[in-house]
Amino acid sequence: MGPFYGSNFAVCPGAILDDGLLSISVFRDFSKLELVWHFWSISRGRRQYHPKLEMFEGKTLEVSSSKPLSVHVDGQPIGTTPVRFRVLPKALKVVAK
Q: How far apart are CA 94 and CA 40, in angstroms?
A: 32
8 and 52 belong to one structural domain: yes
**Domain residues for 83?**
61-90
16 and 44 belong to one structural domain: yes
Half-sphere exposure of 65 (CA within 13 A, CB side): 8
Residue 48: what pLDDT?
Answer: 62
Residue 70: what pLDDT?
Answer: 95
pLDDT tens profile 39-64:
777 776 666 666 778 888 999 999 99
37 vs 71, more confident: 71
The reply to whether 39 falls in a domain is yes
Residue 7: what pLDDT?
Answer: 55
65 and 54 belong to one structural domain: no
The reply to whether 96 falls in a domain is no
The reply to whether 11 falls in a domain is yes
Residue 51: what pLDDT?
Answer: 75
- Mean pLDDT, range 83-90, rounded to an integer: 90
Query: In 3D, which of 17, 23, 84, 29 has the Cα closest to residue 56?
Result: 23
